[in-house]
């Protein structure tokens, strides 16, 4: 008799209880595969636990929640190195697209109608040309500028790569956020005075 469970390795068919200790001791079955979802609840998304563990491992205090059985979001707050700004980082995991999308929202706001938006977009293009793992995104509907990165999870969840991307996205937001905000605020300087 077996039962199916979603664990660290995905869907795992578990043997009857008498064999569990033997398989666990031999390392043939991960402990996470044995954990049961609370009665009446669907199992959490495959890599939600790993995301929580790795965010905590880099010294962040994550708030995570499942959005169904295939999607999850973890959010963390981080105070910038200079102590002037609190950054929020979101990690959106999807089993459907096999990705973790990391982003720091609203590092700047550059509404499409502002004169300074052209300067922000030019700097965004320059940064995207130079940056290897992260990118700067602009939403024309509300002017939000964010720093983001994507981790592909189609073959596995690379914990080290995830930690490095978290650090990199936060570091890039700290480094380029003030500059992008200054550029976005420069529309007053571009308007001819009376």
- The DSSP output letter for 166 is H
Considering the entire predicted model, what is its pTM?
0.76
DSSP string covering 79-121, please?
E-TTSS-EEEEEEEEETTTTEEEEEEEEEEE--TTSTTHHHHH
Q: How far apart are CA 106 and CA 119, in angstroms?
A: 17
Domain that holds residue 159: 48-190
106 and 142 assigned to the same domain: yes
78 and 117 assigned to the same domain: yes
Average pLDDT for runs of 10 along the chain of length 194: 39 48 57 55 90 96 94 94 88 96 97 95 97 96 98 95 98 95 80 46
59 and 15 assigned to the same domain: no
Number of structural domains, the chain? Answer: 2
What CATH number should be reported for the domain holding residue 118? 3.30.1460.10
What pLDDT is attached to residue 94? 96
Q: How far apart are CA 41 and CA 93, in angstroms?
A: 19
């Amino acid at each position: 008799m077996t039962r199916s469970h979603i664990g660290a390795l995905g869907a795992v068919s578990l043997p009857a209880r008498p064999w569990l200790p033997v398989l666990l001791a031999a390392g043939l079955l991960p402990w996470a595969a044995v954990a049961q979802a609370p009665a009446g609840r669907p199992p959490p998304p495959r890599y939600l636990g790993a995301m929580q563990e790795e965010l905590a491992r880099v010294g962040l205090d994550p708030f995570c929640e499942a959005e169904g059985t295939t999607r999850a979001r973890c959010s963390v707050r981080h105070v910038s190195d200079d102590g002037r700004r609190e950054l929020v980082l979101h990690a959106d995991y999807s089993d459907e697209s096999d990705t973790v999308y990391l982003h720091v929202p609203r590092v700047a706001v550059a509404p499409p109608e502002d004169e300074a938006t052209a300067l922000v977009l030019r700097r965004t293009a320059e940064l995207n040309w130079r940056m290897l793992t992260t990118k700067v995104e602009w939403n024309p509907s509300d002017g939000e500028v964010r720093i983001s990165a994507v981790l592909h999870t189609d073959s596995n969840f690379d914990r080290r790569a995830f930690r490095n991307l978290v650090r990199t996205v936060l570091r890039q937001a700290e480094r380029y956020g003030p500059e992008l905000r200054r550029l976005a605020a420069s529309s007053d300087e571009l308007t001819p005075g009376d």
